[in-house]
């Protein structure tokens, strides 16, 4: 199994390099320069100072030279300095990444607790009224964009009912500590988590239903039913255990995709995480920060894929002997 993972890690290296080239090329092909917003905004800078700054950062160098300098620093753990904030990109990301990770973990846990039981129920009662209602819910959840769900939750729970705050991670000018601070953060977290969970539940529920129905058609399930075993034992002990392999693999990959997919939700709720930071850095044309965030998102997806391979080896021992 160690050889298998070594091969997977070695495969990730050219993929990561390829992603870095694509990200760097796309960002450097964007019109304008990093100081355009500063010149046009409230902060003023003279044309000569702007020109000096652009030359100092190597803006006019050929793209292959700029890339070689940038990737060299990345490999040394240096993501550069933010133009907007004038501090290391890595320090800015460190302050935000835990907030996004917190949202992603809670969303994944809730998705697992809700989607898998609903998917099993839908498959065990396939083509019944219960299954049709759950299928309709799943299709609605898959079809509606995440930002629309977020806006609806804000309208209902924040504006109309006033149960939860609209934005941020904590109440402004709130000096509470300990358990009171914890509950304040939880209160701010509820709406973004609901918005992300609805989307994830819909897709995972459909996937669980499909996997369970495939297992139900196997001969050993017919044999278990022919033995007179209760439907509950057939579903949970025989069918679900075998349908679990692709489900667990998908779940282990989901964390990376949820982490990288928080941009819209975090921006709508002004949640101070990686998604909001990425959006703001694009708006500010803060290229070092944009590239740093993009590389973190790319790395999270690659690591999620590697983790899914590891989980697959655990739940399906046959892969260890291949």
Pick the CATH number of 97-285 from 3.40.470.10, 1.10.3720.10, 3.40.50.150, 3.40.50.970: 1.10.3720.10
Sequence spans of domains, the chain: 97-285
Kindly indicate the confidence band of residue 40, based on its pLDDT and cuts at 50, 70 and 90.
very low
- How far is 290 from 267, CA to CA, in rounded Å? 15
Other beta carbons within 10 angstroms of residue 319's beta carbon come to: 14
- How far is 221 from 218, CA to CA, in rounded Å? 6
pLDDT of residue 74: 87
Q: What is the pTM of this model?
A: 0.84
Contacts for 176 with CB less than 8 Å, ≥ 6 apart? 184
pLDDT of residue 91: 93
Whether residue 301 has pLDDT greater than 70: yes
Phi-psi region of 16 (alpha: psi -120 to 50; beta: other; left: phi over 0): alpha
pLDDT tens-digit series, residues 66-93: 889 888 888 888 888 888 888 999 999 9
pLDDT tens-digit series, residues 23-39: 889 888 877 667 666 54
Kindly indicate the confidence band of residue 316, based on its pLDDT and cuts at 50, 70 and 90.
low
150 near 198, Cβ under 8 Å? Answer: no
pLDDT of residue 53: 75
What does the block give as tokens for 190?
């509820």
Average pLDDT, stretch 194-204?
Answer: 90
pLDDT of residue 308: 81
Range list of H helices, 57-145: 63-75, 89-124, 129-143
- Phi and psi at residue 42, in whole multiples of 5°? -75, -35
Average pLDDT, stretch 111-126?
Answer: 92
pLDDT of residue 249: 78
Beta bridge partners of 88: 81
């Amino acid at each position: 199994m160690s050889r298998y993972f070594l091969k997977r890690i070695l495969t990730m290296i050219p993929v990561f390099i390829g992603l870095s080239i694509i990200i760097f090329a796309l960002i450097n092909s964007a019109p304008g320069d990093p100081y355009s917003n500063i010149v046009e905004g409230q902060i003023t800078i003279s044309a000569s100072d702007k020109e000096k700054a652009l030359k100092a950062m190597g803006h006019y160098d050929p793209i292959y030279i700029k890339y070689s300098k940038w990737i060299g620093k990345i490999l040394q753990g240096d993501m550069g300095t933010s133009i907007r904030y004038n501090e290391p990109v890595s320090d800015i990301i460190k302050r935000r990444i835990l907030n996004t990770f917190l949202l992603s973990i809670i969303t994944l846990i809730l998705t697992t607790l809700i989607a898998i039981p609903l998917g099993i129920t839908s498959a065990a009662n396939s083509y019944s009224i219960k299954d049709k209602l759950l299928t309709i819910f799943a299709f609605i959840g898959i079809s509606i964009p995440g930002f629309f769900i977020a806006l609806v939750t804000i309208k209902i729970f924040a504006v109309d009912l006033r149960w939860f705050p609209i934005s941020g991670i904590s109440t402004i000018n709130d000096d509470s500590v300990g358990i009171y601070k914890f509950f304040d953060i939880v209160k701010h977290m509820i709406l973004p988590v609901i918005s992300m969970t609805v989307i994830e539940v819909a897709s995972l529920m459909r996937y669980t239903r499909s996997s369970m129905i495939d297992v139900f058609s196997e001969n050993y399930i017919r044999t278990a039913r022919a033995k007179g075993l209760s439907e509950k034992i057939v579903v949970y002990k025989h069918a679900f255990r075998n349908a679990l392999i692709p489900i667990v693999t998908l779940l282990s990959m989901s964390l990376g995709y949820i982490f990288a997919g928080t941009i819209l939700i975090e921006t709508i709720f002004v949640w101070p995480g990686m998604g909001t930071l990425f959006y703001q850095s694009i708006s500010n044309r803060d290229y070092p920060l944009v590239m740093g965030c993009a590389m973190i998102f790319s790395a999270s997806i690659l690591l999620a894929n590697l983790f899914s391979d590891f989980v697959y080896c655990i739940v399906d021992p046959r892969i260890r002997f291949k």
